[in-house]
Structure 1
Amino acid sequence: MARGHPCHPAFHRAVRPGARARPGREAGPARPADLARAPRLWARTRPNAWADWCARSGCTALEGGAPYEHFYFMLEAASAGLGVALAPEPHVADDLAAGRLIAPFGFLPSGLAYVALRREEAPKKTRTFCDWIGREAAG
């Protein structure tokens, strides 16, 4: 509960680097250390994303990279081959499924989560929606 509001867990946030899919060419970085040679892309809303991911994956901290105003722009840049993007699973699921991006490493829990908050006295349809989104997120 957040300040008197029921909190419904939705999606636990897991992140992974994603690079452009290149049929017939190398599959991208083979191990986290290879990322030091790749242009890194990041969203301004998560300026510490690469440092957090490196701490969780055990690789050496990576500095620099190209900032983007929004995850969408960053993922488009990665799809165009401009670098390796670090993004939450829900943001890259469609690109991975369509083969526009590859993910050379597995998802790592980020310690963050998406949640649905509602007022305690929320209408029944709001409670129903929050319950539904929690079930959908649980799989």
Structure 2
Amino acid sequence: MARPLPPLNALRAFEAAARLGSVSRAAGELHVTHGAVSRHIRALEDELGRPLFVREGRGLALTAEGVRLRDAAGEAFAPLRATWAALRRDSRPAALVLGCPGSLLARWVIPRLERLARELPEVKLHLSAQEGGFDAALTGLDAALLLGEAPWPADWQAHSLAPERIGPVLSPRHVRFDALRVAPAGTLRDEPLLHTASRPQAWPRWFDAQQLDPAPLRLGTGFDHLTYLLEAAAAGLGVAIAPQELVQADLDSGRLVAPWGFVETGGEWALCGVRGNRDPRLPALADWLRRELA
């Protein structure tokens, strides 16, 4: 009794060879040998009792029966391929949307993205630069990477990553560099200090940690973003204050120096998500960030 349908593997091999016009290309697409595709086609021809291909020069041409079977097989396999591809796309988790301040994104996160992709391939990120803080619902985000101080909003689950450390930095291009780099910390009270509007407490906190009265300090030019502040410092326009991790590359290259060191502020690096978010990528990302910050 004849089978109502040809063997599926044989039909796949025939359809690929007919669509691609080559047994070799069909073998490559199906990840089998040239001989395996040829055997499947011969099996169909033997069962049908008629050829599906004829040799034409150095290639193959379909017979009338081959054209009919190609068209029917193509109509069957094309929607199957499309549906399978869509199901595979749908099964992949969406990118984790991570918000962080623009300066942190530019100076610390982006230089590490290649290593993150290599060491944590299951975490695909969509990065969103945020300025002006985060709302309690983390609207539009799966998580936020930030520098700040507890207590965090009650709706957040915070993964503590590392203590924040800040310190003054200046460039060898600064007009008083040779004198300042060997001067005691108290000398900075007489300098017009570069600062950011978002962290007005940074300089007073650093002076307190040095057991120096911050009252006499003079704030010079202010900037909206830390990135601009540090570019001004690198241009020799003054002494800036910044988190250690965000200037480490500049310190390593000699573009900036930190003669007075860094101190902990009581703040921390934190990865924060909305409480109740059980996405397993968040603790995995937090562990990776801790290792980087260590």
Is 1:125 the counterpart of 2:281? The answer is yes
Corresponding residue for residue 60 of structure 2: none
State the one-letter code of the partner of 1:100. Answer: R
- 2:186 counterpart (33, 36, 48): 33
CA RMSD of aligned residues (A): 2.2
Normalized against structure 2, the TM-score is what? 0.43
Q: Which has the higher contact order (CA 8 A, sep 6+)?
A: 1
Q: Which string of whole-angstrom CA distances, capped at 9 and with x for unpartnered residues, describes residues 32-57 of structure 1?
A: 11113322100111012111111111
**1:135 shift after superposition:** 3.2
Normalized against structure 1, the TM-score is what? 0.86
Count of residues in correspondence between the two structures? 137
**1:27 shift after superposition:** 5.8
- Greater Rg by CA: 2
**1:111 shift after superposition:** 0.7
Contact 1:10 1:113 survives alignment (8 Å): yes
Task: Answer 1 or 2: which has greater helix percent.
Answer: 2
**1:114 shift after superposition:** 1.3
C-alpha change, 1:39 and 1:126, in structure 2 (3 Å) is same
Contact 2:190 2:218 survives alignment (8 Å): no
- 1:103 counterpart (234, 258, 272): 258
SS in 2 for 1:41: strand
Task: Answer 1 or 2: which has greater strand percent.
Answer: 1
Corresponding residue for residue 68 of structure 1: 223
Corresponding residue for residue 168 of structure 2: 17
Aligned-pair identity in percent equals: 32
SS in 2 for 1:117: strand
Q: Mark the runs of 5 or more structure 2 residues left unpaired by the alignment.
A: 1-150
| Runs of 4+ residues deviating >4 angstroms | none
Q: Mark the runs of 5 or more structure 1 residues left unpaired by the alignment.
A: none
